[in-house]
Amino acid sequence: MWVTPFFIGSARENEVMQKQELLQKFTELFGDSDGAEVYFAPGRVNLIGEHTDYNGGHVFPCALSVGTYAVARKRSDRVLRFYSLNFEDKGMIDSSLDELKPDPLADWTNYPKGVMWAFEQKGMEIPRGMDLMLYGTIPNGSGLSSSASVEVLMGFILRDFFGFDVSNEELAKIGQFSENQFNGVNCGIMDQFAIAMGKKDQAIFLDTRDLSYQYVPIRLDGVVLIITCSNIKRGLADSKYNERRSECESALGDLQQVIGIESLGDLTEKVFDSYAAAIHDETCRKRARHAVYENQRTIRAVDVLEKKDIDAFGQLMNESHRSLSEDYEVTGDVMDTLVQIQWQCEGVIGSRITGAGFGGCTVSLVKEEYTDLFQKQVSLEYTEKTGLKADFYVVEIGDGPKKL
Ligand code: GLA
């Protein structure tokens, strides 16, 4: 695997260095870099509002400064030549615009190909093939949305290459459509939206019912956001994700027999509690309870954050984790252990699992002066209790996709 050089200096200098390094690597792979352009799309972390986006609820994610870089250039024929510096063992994966169908052997290239397919489904024919090299700085399988990052990135490149008239919001929808229809994961809109619409130092409060949104500046005086990567493999995550989604749909179906709602996001906790008995299956009832309570928690969380009540925000993060553990059952023993360790650390204001679950990362609000101690303590105890090694990232909230 290609190892990232350690970049120091200003963000702008880093970008330039990154760009030259990437072009050089592209030249090694494709002969030269004439006509090649360099692009970037971020990853995302969700602060609160988990498994609410396919239930008509609210989410509160932000784009990260880590993400996926691409070097791409148009070809004169219909050939697609893809290479990832993160999966060098897979080598160059070749196909063509005439073969835009899911193929297990195509491995990670099913993501960019899915987006090409989605453009064509929406009536935007891709006239020429491309050479594409990707390099991701999002830790693998971390639940920080490396796939959505690739999807939005691909859409951004296609728009830039062929002048398609699509907004960033539409790029997000196309990314989600490709993931649902081409790659078979029934995800909501959160990841692609957070990535396509990301803004430096702002989180996005998004209502997934109608995609209305508001940027909320994340100015956390004396407090940092730390992502802890559990490094457990997210086995079967996709099928369990789809299962949760259908459990929620089944709960909604039962509720619609007794109350006129369009989605679980329409319900307050109180109304849900009074109709919950209409949901026949106990598991589905628990899933729906999480979706309803988490949505209301997210609305409250943004409200308290705007009032600068960071402690209340932290409490809501903790409640979110408990609900994901007990009602939604997407955490598992290891992630629960990790969060419990974090809750015990001095200086922690709140901590929870982030993303789809079944492994991945946690996000924690930590008083700045405890940043190092937090990492030391969590690292030690986590390894002691699970035998695994944790990785830490102090969150920098970055912009959406761009050409470098
Ligand atoms: C994954 C999905 C999102 C969202 C989260 C859970 O990241 O892609 O749409 O459902 O899980 O909040």
Q: Quick one: average pLDDT of 87-98?
A: 96
* Distance from C-alpha of 153 to C-alpha of 138, rounded to nearest angstrom: 14
What pLDDT, in 10s, does the model give residues 269-303? 999 999 999 999 999 999 999 999 999 999 999 99
Ligand 1, atom 2, residue with closest C-alpha? 187
Catalytic residue among 77, 160, 165, 191: 191
Residue 221 pLDDT level (bands cut at 50, 70, 90): confident
- Residue 191 annotated among the catalytic residues of the structure: yes
What's the whole-number mean pLDDT along residues 112-139?
96
Residues 6+ apart with CB under 8 A from 259: 271, 275, 278
355 ligand 1 Cβ < 6 A: yes
- Picking from 235, 274, 268, the residue whose alpha carbon sits closest to that of residue 357 is 235
Helices (H), 76-233: 110-121, 146-162, 168-181, 190-196
Ligand 1 contact, 155 CB (< 6 A):
no
Which element (helix H / strand E) includes 229?
A: strand 223-229
- Its pTM stands at 0.94
Closest-lying ligand 1 atom to the alpha carbon of residue 179: 8
Atom of ligand 1 nearest to the CA of 190: 9
pLDDT tens for residues 196-205? 999 999 999 9
Pairing of the two strands 79-84 and 130-136: parallel
